A and B are shown apart, each in its own frame.
Chain A
């Protein structure tokens, strides 16, 4: 179980990126993290991983995240976290050496499925291929909690579709995915739970199944939290054009 307790983060003593965020994620959940740009999604993921200092605490099965359990978390980011001058083959050797739980078979299978060349250095991959490889590494590290920060930015929709299907197919019951994305409509049938941030605060946490039973879609739920007004664009245009 991953417990996030009262996590707050302030940048440069002025920007309150996160305010008192508390959340619990159980084993095997696929949780979507949603929110507008600047709502604190990336900051939350980095706080969980211990990449940035924060107030509050993050516990993994009751223990603070440290050297003993950090390998139970993996991370895929749209910024990419691989070594650009190394090949996928080099990466698999590196991961195998440092992460005792590296899943070599899954790595090979995913590389073959997406047709990614193993002997080409990653800086020569296309953006979409880099994104795919980034997610493959996160999935194959052997982590229990797989955190993904907008991993599909730049991938075409067929690519993304394939990935969701593959993910659902290969994830084991004990693997938890925490996915930050703007592609609400696409992941609605993929995630089991939705967490919504706004201005650094956690304003929404709902089971997707429960939303469906209420006759609401994930998009409507998020729009409701954001008080999204459908006519805001036309009102803004009217103001601009002076009508």
Chain B
């Protein structure tokens, strides 16, 4: 855990901040996975109808002339799920600066000869966090799109994504 120290102001209790970020981020990933999984399942199910019954069991065939919803419709408000964690990270640089003010250590930070040290120490952690969150959101989005392409029969793909 000490390897995260360099991304935060000196002496700052970053564990709580990491914890909250993790919970918000994990929540976004879990909700998006659950919601998208359910939406895709239901969308694909709507493509089939059951035929036959009896000793040979039920068979399913594709309904004619039916297309699945476009991926962008199924994904819906996917990006909004990441808004809480990104807003949290956007506010944290200010909180870090307040830490310096409240502890009095701002008097030391403002005497450091290096350029922008205080600013960098306030934003480094949140910026890195935001980059990781956004990168994971983009990767997951493409993962879901891959699952969509694999899971939907070619003949039922809509004309637009």
Residues of A bordering B, CB below 8 Å? 49-51, 67-68, 70-71, 73-75, 77, 79-86, 90, 94, 98-99
Contacts and interface: CB of A to CB of B under 8 A. Distances in A.
A75 B105 contact: no
A71 B12 contact: no
Given A79-B104, A81-B104, A83-B105, A50 B11 contact: no
Given A81-B104, A83-B105, A49 B111 contact: yes
A98 B104 contact: no
A146 to B, nearest CB: 12
Contact of A77 (B10, B107, B115): B107
A98 B114 contact: yes
A75 B104 CA distance: 11
Interface of B, helix, strand, loop or mixed by DSSP: loop
Nearest to A134: B104
A113 B117 CA distance: 33
B57 to A, nearest CB: 66
A83 B113 CA distance: 18
Given A51-B107, A81-B105, A81-B108, A86 B10 contact: yes
A94 B104 contact: no
14 contacts: A50-B110, A70-B111, A70-B112, A71-B113, A75-B107, A77-B107, A81-B104, A82-B104, A82-B105, A83-B11, A83-B105, A85-B13, A86-B10, A86-B11
B111 A80 contact: no
A179 B114 CA distance: 27
Interface string B100-123: 000111111011111101000000
